[in-house]
Amino acid sequence: MRLSLLPRERPARSMLWLSPVLAAVLSVIGVTILFAVLGRDPIEALRTLFITPLATMDGLTELGLKATPLLLCAVGIAIGVRADVWNIGAEGQFTLGAIFGTWVALNFGGAGHWWLIPAMLLAGIAGGVVWAGIPALLRTRFNAHEILTTLMLAYVSIQLLGYLVHGPWKDPEGYSFPQTRQFEADATLPVLVAGTRLHIGALFALLSVPLGSLLLGRTLMGFRIRTVGAAPAAARYAGFNRDAIVWFCLLVSGGLAGLAGICEIAGGNGQLTPVISPGYGFAAIIVAFLGRLNPIGILFASLLMALLYLGGEGLQVSMQLPIAVTGTIQGMLLFFLLAADVLVNYRPQLQVARRAGAVHHA
Amino acid sequence: MDASAPPPRLRLTGITKRYASVVANSGIDLSVGPGEIHALLGENGAGKSTLVKIIYGVVHPDEGEIAWEGRPVRIADPNAARALGIGMVFQHFSLFESLTVAENIALGLGAREGIGELTARIEEISRRYGLAVEPSRHVHHLSVGERQRVEIVRCLLQAPRLLIMDEPTSVLTPQEAEGLFDVLRRLASEGCSVLYISHKLEEIKALCEAATVLRGGRVVGGCDPRTSSEQQMAELMIGGELPVAHRRAPLKEGRASLIVANLSLPADEPFGTHLRDVSLTLRDGEILGVAGVAGNGQKELLAVLSGERRAPAADAVRIADVAAGLMGPAARRRLGLAFIPEERLGRGAVAEFPLTENALLTSYQHGLVRAGMVRFGAVEAYARQIIARFGVVAAGTQAQGSSLSGGNMQKFIVGREVGTNPRVLLAAHPTWGVDIGAALAIRQALMDLAAAGSGVLVVSEDLAELFEISDYISVLSGGRLSPPRRTHETTVEEVGLLMGGRMAGAARQHEARGVVDAA
Amino acid sequence: MHELGIAVAIVVATLRAATPLMLAGFGELITERSGVLNLGVEGMMLVGAAFGFIGAVVSGSLLVGFIIAMIAGAALALVFGVLTLSLMANQVATGLALTIFGVGFSALVGVKWVGMPLAGLPGAIWPHLSTAPPLVQQMMLIDPIVVIAILVPFAAHWFIYRTRGGLILRAVGESHDVAHALGYSVLRIRYLAVLCGGAMSGLAGAYMSLSYSPMWAENMVAGRGWIALALVVFSTWKPAWLALGALLFGLVTIAQFQAEGLGVAVSPNLLAMLPYLATVIVLVLISRDATRLKLNAPAALGRPFHATA
């Protein structure tokens, strides 16, 4: 007897949404085993990971805060992947968005300009667009694949950030800490809920969901994107310009990541430091897949992933577990999702190797 | 069985193979005698491919028995089949493009002999049967005829006692096919059995001494092709009377709607064909057939006509009196061009998309989009209209492209392209691999479109089809296009010679020797 | 003598810096030649680095460390194989998952070993000769793993072009359907290639943590896995070019340290960008000729295979 996979006549729509749920359940089992191996009480750890952060208003707003950059980056990444354009360097565009926006804040902050915040946000978007524009140019003009170029530029951006905060942008009064000056009050994003850190960036993130859905599902551009991704030869045949789609996807995705970057700074620490993200740009790839490359799904996936970040911090504080637990669980989640996805297109079947009446050996 | 008679080389009893949704083979009995050339006849989808895959060990039957020279056997994989003495020449060749002929043959033999030794044996076999192959050449440099010879040599090196040929002449010129038949007859006279799969009845009449006919996965009859008529065999194959397309009225000389002038274009793919000085004129109301063996520039010509590749100059391609050579596909469609491509899923349609979105694929310029937003209501209506008009069998407009059979998908694509009322329609292999009913409907649609005043350019390997529907026939060979001939003033033989590259006054650039002249 | 000393130092340092790229690169070359694109090299290297370090410290043997690293790399590759080969998951997404998981998992298992020296183990793998002349001491830095890395291109060339196994590998990478029709077990061959790639990546990672900079630190591979992937594209899947590319990048990497050593007043952050920028430039140069890439790439690269049986 052996297990074999038979192709389904058509993809199972139900499995499309059941598979992330299955992956989440399998991940919880995996995490339980992981904690047991690490010698921690799994129940206690699971509670810290998944329940504690949601128990308070403060925890909920922190969840929104962490989901914001994930959601923005993931919607952009998903639009790209739908067109088979793999922007896996959102982390870099996020960083450049933070750098560009910070430049505006440092140079024009404190004077009470009404346009300061919009200018910072636009600069952040521009930073992401520029950083994603380079791979777009290299892809369309020189055929260099964006997977490697976006990623290499992410490494470069982290060094660029390091250079700025150690060098020219270093706060002279910062006791030689590698960080920029603190933003003035007028360069800080307004908060949504008084007394919490949840800022208006969350609104932009929420807005990206209906806009992304509309783009992909209802517009000719979205149809072009999906066609290029599903069948490049059909797109060429239909007269959809592949290069234009590559540019569009990378710029939109870069702009969203850049917006996430400046929001993270202007709504959070209010200054640049050598590390400004716990890997949001990379985790957003998982979010995009977990959300089925669909903006509405991504909204839920980003909340789950934000919960993992929050819970991971909780584990660090209360159970002295390394923060790397978060990354491990994220990777595990994606593994299980990819494995469960086989059920969308294939139907498992236990086969008896030889039936009665089967041909036999000579 | 009579003890004195030798057992059949191969006997299948009650072979059944089920897939998720279809029964590909159901209780099939088949017997091939020593030295017999046995035809396996059937329409596309009748179960021929599955059956030969079972014999060759690629697919395992769910039920049934295989007996080889009287002994029951289980054929686990192709290696086991080869060990028994079964050789197979695939319809889509099982050769690796980037490897040499000798490397390919070594892989197919599964023997651990050195390339040097093997080369000597290849040359010996190739001399003996007059099958010219060069062991050190890379396969991607070879013409389709040469590739087939490599496959045959690979089989012969194992001294097969049963040779399976799957649609072997679909890629050959009529003259090359004759040469192949000589080789097969000689093999049979040496005692090797041949299982010959085809749907070309005239070939089977000329070559085979027995035939088994499959329909819907079952054996529906057998006959001696030498004494049966093509009509009888065809009716056995389709299980009814042969339908006939309505010929349209003779054409009147229309205005030129597509003009290609002295177009030369280097190949853009590693193993592609260069187009050399191609000129053609297509007029309103006429069907121009472009014959030729695949790989002689068909893909390249269609790409440069459809706009998927740009011509070197705007004037090289004129559509409806506009210099369109530098335009992309969308702009050319605005001039009234439509195109039925060779590949259905993945190019002509998207497998993952519902039929609505597949309808939108090329008709988005026909009022289905407003201010950048898709009017899904209108798209839905258009899809429903195509389905109704062409009798597409599908589970509604939301059915995925991949859920349709090849013939129904093609009818949908033809309906979509014809539905835009094009001035010029390009059709690549429009009935390849579809069942007779769908093929008939598609040919009828093309003829109706021409009758309504559009120009239709059909690229096909199926000479019978081209002779049936075209007003003019040109031949593409080695990237050169022959001047058009009136269909009723030319013959299959003449076109066949042109397909083989014998073009008066044109130097042959492309290697296309047939088996005939190698012998 | 001084110039000779500097020249030897540069050659040795280049070889050492090229070693992880060479090992991981050739592992990936074999994997891709079979038609599988595994973007998880970075993750497999990190897991190899962490497990190799821990294995060596715990067992007290470098050899055991390297073996454990290869097993760990192969184990991660096996996960990739099950997902992409048996379950037909998207290779790009699975490779990314492998890297994301590898980054987190290596950090998790290595957390107690961060900053710990290779206590009780010799710093270099050859017996240390403090009495030897400086030139000889320089040469001593060429440890057995570097020697292996130097030999790997020759071995790979011989295997791919001169053996029947290599012929089958190339055949499967070009067309799994044809190979299947001829009776070759596509999955078995691809599993072997993927596992080989994982073991090589694991070895490359362990070289980082046990010899190159003998210690474990989170994310210490620092993008070398991705550079190795880029080098495979750069090589157009040819062993000789891959070897050349790895050496070139070894040189670029040490330029960073040379500049620091020479006291050139450039920010270390800017110098650290060099390998990544060089990767982008190299990719651009090689990818411009799309036809050449297409001609040389294994035709089945990244395409899923499902045998209908």
| B258 bridge partner residues | B282, B319
Torsional sign, CA C115, C121, C126, C132: positive
Whole-angstrom CA distances from B328 to B331, C30, C177 are 6, 40, 34
pLDDT at position B499, please?
83
Nearest CA in chain A to B352: A230
Is B351 in the A-facing interface, judged by CB distances under 8 Å? yes
Which band of pLDDT confidence, cut at 50, 70 and 90, is reported for residue A1? low
Q: Per-residue pLDDT averaged across A114-129, rounded?
A: 97
Determine the distance in angstroms separating the CA of A360 from the nearest CA of chain B, rounded to an integer. 5
Which band of pLDDT confidence, cut at 50, 70 and 90, is reported for residue B235? confident
pLDDT at position B62, please?
93
Q: What are the residue ranges spanned by the domains of chain B?
A: 10-238, 256-343+422-518
Give the separation between CA A129 and CA A90, rounded to whole angstroms. Answer: 11
* CATH number of the domain located at residue range(s) B256-343+422-518 in this protein: 3.40.50.300
Give the separation between CA A274 and CA A282, rounded to whole angstroms. Answer: 17
ipTM value of the model? 0.88
Give the separation between CA B486 and CA B504, rounded to whole angstroms. Answer: 17
| B317-319 sheet: strands from edge to edge | B275-283, B256-265, B317-319, B322-323
Q: Per-residue pLDDT averaged across A330-359, rounded?
A: 73
Mean pLDDT of chain B: 87
Given a contact cutoff of 8 angstroms between Cβ atoms, the answer to whether A347 and A6 are in contact is: yes
Which band of pLDDT confidence, cut at 50, 70 and 90, is reported for residue C242? very high
pLDDT at position B509, please?
35
Which residues does chain A have within 8 Å of residue B352's beta carbon, measured at their own beta carbons?
Answer: 11, 230-231
Whether C134 shows a pLDDT value over 90: the answer reads no
Q: Per-residue pLDDT averaged across C234-239, rounded?
A: 93
**Which has the minimum average pLDDT: A11-25, C211-225, C275-289?**
A11-25
Determine the distance in angstroms separating the CA of C134 from the nearest CA of chain A, rounded to an integer. 35
Instruction: Count the helix, strand and coil residues of chain B and give each as a percent rounded to the nearest 5.
Output: 35, 25, 40
Would you call B58 and C309 a contact, using CB atoms and an 8 Å cutoff? yes
| Percent of chain A residues topping a pLDDT of 90 | 68
- Chain B: list its partners (3+ Cβ pairs within 8 Å): A, C
Given a contact cutoff of 8 angstroms between Cβ atoms, the answer to whether A88 and A285 are in contact is: yes
Give the separation between CA A218 and CA B90, rounded to whole angstroms. Answer: 45
Nearest CA in chain A to B12: A359
Look-up of token digits 């490049």: A232
Give the separation between CA A291 and CA B152, rounded to whole angstroms. Answer: 52
* CATH number of the domain located at residue range(s) B10-238 in this protein: 3.40.50.300
Nearest CA in chain A to C309: A6
Range of the domain at C287: 2-118+132-296
- Residue with more model confidence, C133 or C23: C23
Is C151 in the A-facing interface, judged by CB distances under 8 Å? no
pLDDT at position B251, please?
57
Look-up of token digits 């899809």: B383
Which residues does chain A have within 8 Å of residue B72's beta carbon, measured at their own beta carbons?
Answer: 359-360, 362
- Please give the tally of structural domains in chain C: 1
pLDDT at position A2, please?
66
**Which has the minimum average pLDDT: A106-120, A141-155, A180-194, C279-293?**
C279-293
Mutation to test the B interface, candidates C182, C237, C303, most B Cβ within 10 Å: C182
Mutation to test the A interface, candidates B11, B350, B405, most A Cβ within 10 Å: B350
**DSSP 8-class letter at B25:** E
pLDDT at position B516, please?
33
Nearest CA in chain A to B348: A234
Which band of pLDDT confidence, cut at 50, 70 and 90, is reported for residue B238? confident
Which residues does chain A have within 8 Å of residue B61's beta carbon, measured at their own beta carbons?
Answer: 358-359
| Percent of chain B residues topping a pLDDT of 70 | 92
pLDDT at position C53, please?
95
Would you call B59 and C309 a contact, using CB atoms and an 8 Å cutoff? yes
Residues contacting residue B511 through CB under 8 Å, at least 6 positions apart: B141, B142, B143, B146
Is C253 in the A-facing interface, judged by CB distances under 8 Å? no
Closest CA to B444 of B418, B408, B405, B426: B418
- Chain A: list its partners (3+ Cβ pairs within 8 Å): B, C
Q: For residue range B323-339, list pLDDT tens digits in order.
A: 999 999 999 999 999 99
Give the separation between CA A139 and CA A81, rounded to whole angstroms. Answer: 15
| Percent of chain C residues topping a pLDDT of 90 | 59
**Which has the minimum average pLDDT: A328-342, B1-15, B388-402?**
B1-15
Nearest CA in chain C to B271: C295
Q: For residue range B358-382, list pLDDT tens digits in order.
A: 999 999 988 899 999 999 999 999 9
pLDDT at position B199, please?
75
> Which of C100, C276, C288 lies nearest to residue A155, judging by beta carbons?
C276
Would you call A237 and B21 a contact, using CB atoms and an 8 Å cutoff? no
Given a contact cutoff of 8 angstroms between Cβ atoms, the answer to whether C18 and C51 are in contact is: no
Which residues does chain A have within 8 Å of residue B329's beta carbon, measured at their own beta carbons?
Answer: 236-239
pLDDT at position B249, please?
58
Determine the distance in angstroms separating the CA of C2 from the nearest CA of chain A, rounded to an integer. 34
Would you call C308 and B103 a contact, using CB atoms and an 8 Å cutoff? no
> Which of C39, C88, C276 lies nearest to residue A152, judging by beta carbons?
C276
Q: Per-residue pLDDT averaged across B135-156, rounded?
A: 87
Nearest CA in chain C to B60: C309
The tokens for A50 are: 């998944």
Give the separation between CA C16 and CA C7, rounded to whole angstroms. Answer: 14
Would you call C291 and B268 a contact, using CB atoms and an 8 Å cutoff? yes
Q: Per-residue pLDDT averaged across A114-120, rounded?
A: 96
- Residue with more model confidence, B250 or A201: A201
Mutation to test the A interface, candidates C232, C273, C279, C288, most A Cβ within 10 Å: C273
Mean pLDDT of chain A: 91
Q: For chain B, what's the residue count?
A: 519
Q: For residue range A204-224, list pLDDT tens digits in order.
A: 999 999 999 999 999 999 999
Residues 105-124 of chain A with CB under 8 A from chain C are: none
- Residue with more model confidence, C61 or B433: C61
Asked if residue C303 is part of any domain, the answer here is no
Exposure string over B378-392, b if 16+ CB within 10 A, otherwise e:
bbbebbeebbeebeb
Which residues does chain C have within 8 Å of residue A327's beta carbon, measured at their own beta carbons?
Answer: 100-101, 103-105, 107-108
Q: What are the residue ranges spanned by the domains of chain A?
A: 75-292
| Percent of chain B residues topping a pLDDT of 90 | 53
Give the separation between CA B443 and CA B441, rounded to whole angstroms. Answer: 6
Which band of pLDDT confidence, cut at 50, 70 and 90, is reported for residue A355? very low
Tell me whether domains B10-238 and B256-343+422-518 share a fold.
Answer: yes
Nearest CA in chain B to C309: B59
Would you call B94 and C181 a contact, using CB atoms and an 8 Å cutoff? yes
pLDDT at position B245, please?
56
